[in-house]
Structure 1
Amino acid sequence: MSGVELLALAASTSLLAGWRLYLVTFVTGLAMRLGWIDLPDKLVALDVLANPWVLVLSGAAALFEFFADKIAFIDSLWDGIHTAIRPLGGALLALAIVDPGDPVWQVSAFLLGGGAAFLSHAGKAATRVMVNTSPEPVSNMIVSTGEDVATAGLLALAIANPVAAALIALILVLASLWLILSARRFVRRLVS
């Protein structure tokens, strides 16, 4: 992978970590382990995500998150707890993908990765505030399943074509901003 592709992969995985941190960590590590992500020789030391322990822990957490996300009140609690965890996880994912020998890349990846994960998490949580207030449980499950499918699809695209995935990630950043502002207006109307 070229430097541009690695940066695009870091951006995409960070953004997706704001939705499904554990699934993204698991799939990225599995892709590294199976050789789907071709790391340059100088980055082979970064295959920490491919460590069997990391794969088992992130896989188990992804499975738990899959079910927790389908129940409205548990989902809201889960999102609240992960407001700090997902941005940090997104920052660390970006850091694990870029060149470890260049401090400028490290700091840039960490800051941008954390910011992207926070923004997508905020968009997800803002959307869920609106969906979870619905009296029927079906809408939450539909939205959650849509997030699962979108995360898996975009992650597959990020592995196959990181630059295209980064462009889609940019569109998602703009959509997240719109969702945050919409949720803010929605909450204001509820309070008023």
Structure 2
Amino acid sequence: MSVLPLVFTSGWASGINAYAVVLLLGVFGATGLADEVPESLQRTDVLVVAGLLFLCEAVADKIPYVDSAWDTVHTVVRPVAGAVVAALLAGTSGSLPELAAGAVGGSTALMSHLVKAGTRMAVNTSPEPFSNVGVSVAEDLGVAGVITLAVFHPVAAAVVAGSLLLLGMVILVFLASRIRRFLRRRAQRREERSLAGAGRHRPHG
């Protein structure tokens, strides 16, 4: 059986929360619920590190503006994680070349990451913090649900992941004005901090 649907789904989920993907797949593999999970993801040290980083993301992802800073840092991390997980999955199954799997997983992770980051920029234009928490919880539950579905019904999960990716891209088009507003605010804050710093270091005459 082709592992491509699982590769695509894990890539999409990695673009949203790579640590959750590693943790969930590792747990499913370690408990014997999934045969396709490579042993390297089932190692105790990998699961512990993934669990700790998942907790860090769970906190940072729910704080306005901190979530966008976290997304910026993970612009490289998530696509790379998606590519690595995809290549490992392909290496275990032998039905898909690892390089091709890595390309699919990495590019899909990058697209879903950009959708997530853009959506968070739009959400951060809202004055209240509760929308961040709601969106973050929905993302966490979505990743958990789709990865669980992928373990037992990979084709159905890939259809769901593809639909969510397409929907997210459409939503980004409608949120473009809010995203531009967020970027202007961030640029203004940086300029204010820069001016404040210059004022503190200005010599007194």
Please classify the TM superposition score into its range, dividing by the shorter chain length: 0.7 to 0.9
Partner of 1:75: 67
Partner of 2:107: 115
Distance 2:95 2:175 in 1: 37
Letter in 2 for 1:36: L
Letter in 2 for 1:16: A
Contact 2:146/2:157 (<8 A) preserved? yes
Percent identical: 37
Equivalent of residue 144 in structure 1, options 132, 136, 154: 136
Equivalent of residue 126 in structure 2, options 134, 159, 162: 134
TM-score between both structures, scaled by the size of structure 1:
0.88
Deviations 1:1-48 (A, max 9, x none): x22xx2211111111011111011111011111111113xxxx8x310
Residue 161 in 1 paired to residue 158 in 2? no
What displacement does 1:177 show? Answer: 2.2
Aligned residue pairs, count? 183
More helix, by proportion: 1
Distance 1:101 1:163 in 2: 16
Q: Which runs of no fewer than 5 residues in structure 2 stay unpaired?
A: 185-205
Letter in 2 for 1:66: A
What displacement does 1:184 show? Answer: 3.2
Partner of 1:8: 5
What displacement does 1:176 show? Answer: 2.9
Distance 2:89 2:168 in 1: 24
Distance 1:187 1:53 in 2: 38
Distance 1:153 1:176 in 2: 17
TM-score between both structures, scaled by the size of structure 2:
0.82
Distance 1:123 1:55 in 2: 27
Contact 1:122/1:180 (<8 A) preserved? no
Distance 2:120 2:58 in 1: 15
Equivalent of residue 19 in structure 1, options 11, 16, 20: 16
Q: Which has the larger displacement, 120-129 or 167-176?
A: 167-176
Letter in 1 for 2:27: L
Deviations 1:57-77 (A, max 9, x none): 001101111111110121111
Contact 1:71/1:141 (<8 A) preserved? yes
Letter in 2 for 1:129: M
Q: Which has the larger displacement, 103-112 or 69-78?
A: 103-112
Deviations 1:110-146 (A, max 9, x none): 1111110000010011110000121111111111111
